[in-house]
Structure 1
């Protein structure tokens, strides 16, 4: 019988230090760490704990960190436990990232009911770190009620967060006209709530007009099977004044509750699990390809021919794939 991982029981009791160590473990690329992480995740999954997973994205400077701190503090004041997984941009050149979210959410970082974990996005499409899904599962096992997944930027690739979260929130600044046109249709189609931040002071009137603009745009989109009447919707919020946050939370709870009652919640989670199974298989196949010396040499030779213009990329790729077929 395999011995239980020493982190297992500590995570179930909500030990934040053990949770941090476990997330470091799942982010590691060492084979022994990956094996241990897989066993730990399997054991914790058997506990069946779930949290409300909220994906959050927004344009740079919109106030995501300020919003998360205000929103998270409101939830912890109500007795809820909140985990924040903030995916930091990584340098394309060095692979390093600043990981400064704890300094930007100083008040929430000191809250005993909160846990903040910045993770480097590395080169993964959409700014969702490859192991963020596993980090979310660890936070659920540790008994957190809400897990906020902050992603980098806004763009078509951000639709990947839909494969992790139960709800997706798009945070935008007061704008109009050209700025409204600049928001990609793809990200509008996955948003459950669009929240226009900075609805305070001189920007309050502009924010309310922007909410009306987005509400009109959302009505033009085709209704999704996982939405009750009235969703998706746009709301004004002010992270600075902590206004509109309670209504936003009420709307999130209402949508999550409807999805649970109608079975959409379970179906979505099952689809997400199947998606990540496929991703793991593809990642494993690529890893095996790079581990094989003969395959690496073949790849390098074909890549050199493509780079020199001697071969077409598609034809060279077909040849490479054909060489991998079993004899």
Structure 2
């Protein structure tokens, strides 16, 4: 990868140059140690130009039509004068490590819009499919002038709650008539969701979607009394309910902004991001430590065979990594 001077990245991103934005994102996603310093210099210079977008996370059960929904929502937003960035976190290929779902082909209308930018990104096996560099990519898109950033995650499950630490508003898409809807998703998702939207509320499925909305409202009233998320229906295919859905997002975020909750949330997220990077760095350093690397296979085998407890093995790893400590 041919690197540019830091100011060239900064000026290009600020000017909305898509080619430079793409190269800046590639830079911050790079795992090469020599690229890290330049990436952080670029991000630091762009930081004053970030924070002005609405950040919305979108998850959903398999088959719910996330990409079709984002395509419809994105077209609605673009049609109303917004600039929309979509960070689509794909499962990583086990062979190449790259994205495998091809989001641009699934968001075919939005991909052609000059006011939209779609960036597939491999999850790289990170918790909940949220790529480690998604935070920095989000900041780059904000600095490039995108006022709505949609973060689409791989699927739905306990680990997907990680996305709530990236965004201002968290939307979970559900299906009606799929059977045991409330049993089919993790409780943790509903504990952090700001909205549950039943998609495919059209044709013969409309009555089922309407019933599902009432069922979710009742269940969430019991689960989160006094803090129930918005529950609505929509049809991404027909484009119905999208305007009402987005109006609810805007209303909730505006109230949080007026109360100071939004700023507090983002401040806490920044600190959380810092510690997440510290933890990532420590894990990488631990794995790369020569003595630890030699010791781990021996200790893993001892744990498998019952010759060592997991705790004693862990203490030996820590002792090798931090010999001066009392680990």
Does the CA-based 8 Å contact 2:25-2:137 persist in structure 1? yes
Q: Shift of residue 150 of structure 1?
A: 0.3
The yes-or-no answer on 1:291 pairing with 2:288 is yes
Paired residue for 2:193? 191
Deviation at 1:276, TM superposition (A): 1.0
- 1:39-88 CA deviation, whole Å, 9 max, x = no partner? 11111112344210100000111111110001100100111000000011
Alpha-carbon separation, structure 1, partners of 2:59 and 2:184: 15
| Whole-angstrom CA distance in 2 between matches of 1:296 and 1:135 | 32
One of 170, 173, 179 as aligned partner of 1:171: 173
Deviations 1:164-214 (A, max 9, x none): 011000001113752222222110111101100001101011111111111
* Distance change (3 Å), C-alpha of 1:177 and 1:98: closer
Q: Distance in 2 between matches of 1:94 and 1:145?
A: 32
For 2:26, the equivalent position in structure 1 comes to: 24
Aligned to 2:233: 236
In the other structure, the counterpart of 1:126 is: 128
Asked whether the 8 Å contact 2:66–2:173 carries over to 1, the reply is: yes
TM-score by length of 2: 0.93
Partner residue in 2 for 1:262: 259
**Higher alpha-carbon deviation: 42-51 or 69-78:** 42-51
The answer on 1:36 being equivalent to 2:38 is: yes
> Secondary structure of the residue that 1:309 maps to in structure 2?
coil
In structure 2, do the counterparts of structure 1 residues 40 and 223 end up closer, same or farther at CA, with 3 Å as the change threshold?
farther
Q: RMSD over aligned Cα, in angstroms?
A: 1.7
1:213 aligns with 2:215: yes
User: Does structure 1 retain, via aligned residues, the 8 Å contact 2:57–2:151?
Assistant: yes
Q: Secondary structure at the match of 1:84?
A: strand
If the length of structure 1 is used for normalisation, what is the TM-score?
Answer: 0.93
CA contact (8 A) 1:218 1:233 kept: no
1:295 shift after superposition: 2.6
How far apart are residue 17 of structure 1 and its match?
1.4
1:303 aligns with 2:300: yes
Alpha carbons 2:86, 2:152 under 8 Å: kept: yes
Partner of 1:11: 13
Unaligned runs of 5+ residues in structure 2 are none
1:223: how far off? 4.7
Task: Summarize deviations over 1:128-172 as a string: whole Å, max 9, x none.
Answer: 111111111111111101000000111011000011011000001
SS of alignment partner, residue 61 of structure 1: coil
TM-superposed deviation, 1:263: 0.6
Tell me the SS of whatever aligns to 1:85. strand
CA distance, structure 2, for counterparts of residue 95 and residue 8 of structure 1: 28
Instruction: Confirm whether residue 77 of structure 1 aligns to residue 74 of structure 2.
Output: no
- 2:184 matches 1:182: yes
Q: Cα offset for 1:107?
A: 1.1
Query: How many residues are treated as equivalent by the alignment?
Result: 320
Moved >4 Å (runs of 4+): none
What is the CA–CA distance in structure 2 between the aligned matches of 1:114 and 1:233, rounded to whole Å?
26
Alignment partner of 1:145 out of 139, 144, 147 = 147
Q: Report the Cα offset of residue 322 of structure 1.
A: 2.6
